[in-house]
Amino acid sequence: MRIGVYFCLCGPNIAEKIDSEAVRQAVERLPGFGYYRTVEFLCSAVGTSAMEKDVRENRPDRVVVAACSVRDHEETFRGVLARAGMNPFLMQMVNVREHIAWVTADREKATEKAIRHLGAAMRRVALHEPLERREIDVCTDVLVVGAGPAGLKAALNFAEAGRKVCLVEKEPVLGGLPARYEAMFPDMECGPCVLETVLGDVLHGPHAERIEILTLSSVADVVGYYGNYTVTIRQSPRYISPDLCIACGECIPVCPAVSGNPFNYGINGRKAVDYAFQGGLPNLPFIDPESCLRTTGNEDCRLCREACPVEGAVVYEDSGKQVTRQVGAILVATGAGLYDCSRLPNLGYGRLPDVFTSLEFERILAANGPTGGAIRKTDGSPPKRIAILHCVGSLDPRHKEYCSGVCCETAFKFNRLVAHKLPGAEVTHFYKTFSVPGKRGYKLFGEAGARASTRFVRYDDIDRLEIRSDGSRGHHVVLTSPGGGSSVTESDMVVLCPALVPSEGTARMAQMLEAATDRFGFMEELHGRMDSVRSKVRGIYMAGTCQAPMDTQKAVEQALAASGAILAGLVPGRKLVIEPVTALVDAERCSACRSCIPVCPYKAISFDSEKDSAVVNSVLCVGCGTCVSTCPSGAIKGNHFTDEQVFAEIEGVLS
């Protein structure tokens, strides 16, 4: 075996610290040595051209490159070998710059260290195998789960790029939480108005034909891998034909069944057949099977069908449907919910009247809300004093340790809206700390602080706050100090601003996709700084509050980043390159213990019942080697990092 050694001087970086001639004299005595070349700048155009020519002429069996970091130039030199007609994986790099020259002051010691490292590389590379990259065809369609601002923007981005998109939304309408907001901080824009442009483009724009919208739907099953997923989607019945309904609303007044309106968090009622809310898109009513007299089995009511002027528009026989779609990537944008305030019983939520969460108060403030936008207590009278509690469940190791980052600005938005709707009302903010980031976040905070009717009270522990009812006279907010004293603030209405938490849909999707979640239950990103929109499973991406608490602006920015990453990876006409540095299971040695399956961080291993063996999906595997070290029977081999190669390298360093 002839091993060609290429030593890069890297200008003064390596040449001044390592004696390349002494290295040559040492390595030429090692088994397998073929020849030795010293190059000034091996990574330069001149250097790579010279190396390519030299490899083509000398035709070594293996190559060792002594230069800089593998991260910098391993692919560079693999490309050189490939162009020279040599398998690119028959090469081993030695990082003599960062690992030796830059960290070893003594030239003699640095030279000795370089000799040992090159000897280790020569032992290792002799055992390298000629691996081959594979290419597979991919589907460039995309599944987007969740039609809030992030999901809508991503779907539109894909459609504009010429891709087909399947947009799955569990609600009967699109828009997510911002569709419920009368105003959005910091500029007090109308939530539905902000969404109007993107909704219009998604539903009726020039690229709408590429977007398949499935409302009242959920993902039932996902099989496959990056580039080739098969997704099963279950769509619940609407009982109203979208093709025939003219949205006249004649079916609604005659319906006798009324239940709590989930869009307004049960504050008011909604007919069994109704719109999700006025102005919701798509503009179609639907029948709620949980409250309809027919579907609950109470009676054979047909009043809505009789009132409908279009024959066949009301479809009692609708049983929903199940569809299958082929996609190349999945973007999860399932949003967030609020921390359960009933877990803080001292605050009276769910027990005392006129104690609302921030989302419930959003609906009270909205013109299409339960009170038509008027701030009213349960008895119908306007409150004179309102208490707003920040950090409910946030910044608290007993509940949620993190800051949601949006609650303070929401509270200060409420302050302005209360001042506008109830000019004489007093507002008291109970807070732990303030979070108003960004170039415009301070505006609403400054306005609140400038109002004479606004008061700020700081507390250190949510358990020191207690909401007590004073019957018809309202509430007392009692704050107990660490020393035992207490202060009392009278209030007619209390608004709680809880922590943002992952939605139920986020947990369900993460489990189905086998994507990791963090300790708070949010979908875990590949890297918090450099790859916050990729999950640890290749092909699964995320955007918005399913990944972390954030405002609408950041959620949309994540959607654009995620869609950009997907568009760059799945290109029509381009095949997906599969790297060969992966794990490989020897089915004959596999004991079927399945120990490797739960430890794989990339969900690349499954069990084949027919073979009675674990199998590795090379598309998902990144060659981390976790399964190799876990396998008790040694049945798993790490390509390019076999036990023999690693031990040979260790022996070379120590010899």
Contacts of 452 (CB under 8 A, 6+ apart): none
Instruction: State the angle between helix axes of 149-160 and 552-569 in degrees (0 to 180), rounded to the nearest 10.
Output: 30
List the single range of 178-192, 311-325, 473-487 with lowest mean pLDDT.
Answer: 473-487
Q: Is the Cβ–Cβ distance between 476 and 348 less than 8 Å? A: no
- pLDDT value at 234 more than 90: yes
Q: Tens of pLDDT along 396-449?
A: 999 999 999 999 999 999 999 999 999 989 999 999 999 888 887 788 888 888
Asked if domains 3-126 and 339-501 share a fold, the reply is no
CA distances from 88 to 50, 217, 281, 578, 640 (A): 17, 48, 55, 15, 12
Q: Strands of 98-148 (E only): list them.
A: 134-136, 142-145
pLDDT tens-place string over residues 142-181: 999 999 999 999 999 999 999 999 999 999 999 999 988 9
Beta pairing, strands 91-95 & 454-458: unpaired
Q: Are 384 and 415 in contact (CB under 8 A)?
A: no
Residue 473 pLDDT > 80: no
- Region 18-42: mean pLDDT is 95
637 forms beta bridges with 584
How far is residue 223's CA from residue 230's CA, in Å, rounded to a whole number? 5
Amino acid at 496: L
pLDDT in tens, 287-336: 999 999 998 877 889 999 999 999 999 999 999 999 999 999 999 999 99
Q: What is the pLDDT of residue 286?
A: 95
Quick check: 424 and 384 in contact, CB under 8 A?
yes
The pLDDT confidence band at residue 462, using thresholds 50, 70 and 90, is: very high
- The CATH topology of domain 579-639 is Alpha-Beta Plaits (3.30.70)
Give the list of residues 6+ apart from residue 348 with CB closer than 8 angstroms, or none. 355, 467, 468, 469, 475, 494
Partnered with residue 466 across adjacent β-strands are 478
Arithmetic mean of pLDDT, 107-125: 96
Q: Is the bond preceding 502 in cis, omega lying within 30 degrees of 0?
A: no
Q: How confident is the model at residue 616 (pLDDT cuts 50, 70, 90)?
A: very high
> Which two tokens mark 219?
């993902």
| Per-residue pLDDT tens over the stretch 517-530 | 999 999 999 888 88
- Average pLDDT over the chain, rounded to an integer: 93
Strand ranges (DSSP E) for 522-601?
A: 525-527, 531-535, 540-542, 576-578, 583-585
Task: Find, among 571, 572, 142, the residue nearest to 333 by Cα.
Answer: 142
Distances (CA, A) of 255 to 250, 271, 306, 574: 10, 6, 11, 55
In the block, which residue shows the tokens 């891998």? 225
CATH class, 3-126 region: alpha beta
Higher per-residue pLDDT: 194 or 481: 194
**What is the per-residue pLDDT for 438?**
80
- Among residues 642, 646, 636, 639, the alpha carbon closest in space to that of 599 is found at 636
476-487 average pLDDT score: 85
Dist. CA 19–CA 7, nearest whole Å = 11
The pLDDT > 90 percentage for the chain reads: 82
Q: What is the pLDDT of residue 57?
A: 96
Helix, strand, or coil here: 137? coil
What's the pLDDT tens digit per position in 558-579? Answer: 999 999 999 999 999 999 889 9
User: What are the residue ranges spanned by the domains of the chain?
Assistant: 3-126, 142-236+323-335+503-569, 251-318, 339-501, 579-639
Q: CB atoms < 10 A from the CB of 242, how many?
A: 13
Longest dimension (CA), the chain: 98
CATH number of 339-501: 3.50.50.60
pLDDT given at position 299? 84
Quick check: 596 pLDDT over 80? yes
- Run of H or E residues at 186: none
With 0-12 / 13-18 / 19 or more C-beta atoms within 10 angstroms meaning exposed / middle / buried, residue 98 is middle
Percentage above 70 pLDDT, the chain? 100
**pTM for this structure?**
0.81
In whole angstroms, what is the distance from residue 284 CA to residue 247 CA?
A: 6
pLDDT of residue 482: 81
Residue 111 has pLDDT above 80, yes or no: yes
Residue 252 pLDDT greater than 80, yes or no:
yes
CA torsion 272→273→276→281, rounded to 10°? 160
Give the separation between CA 104 and CA 114, rounded to whole angstroms.
10
Q: Which of the four pLDDT bands, split at 50, 70 and 90, describes residue 471? A: confident
Count CB neighbours of 529 within 10 A.
6
What is the secondary structure of 404-471 as a DSSP string? -SSHHHHHHHHHHHHHHH-TT-EEEEEES-----SSSTHHHHHHHHH-TTEEEEE-S-GGGEEEEE-G
Task: Kindly give the interhelix angle for 149-160 and 191-204, rounded to the nearest 10 degrees.
Answer: 30
Is the separation of the CB atoms in 626 and 601 below 8 Å? yes
Poorest-confidence range of 46-50, 360-364, 481-485, 596-600?
481-485
φ, ψ for residue 407, nearest 5 deg:
-65, -40
Q: What is the pLDDT of residue 530?
A: 86
**Among candidate residues 139, 144, 261, 157, the one with its CA nearest the CA of residue 214:** 144
CATH of domain 142-236+323-335+503-569: 3.50.50.60
Cα R_g (the chain), whole angstroms: 32
- Judged against a pLDDT cut of 90, whether residue 476 lies above it is answered with no
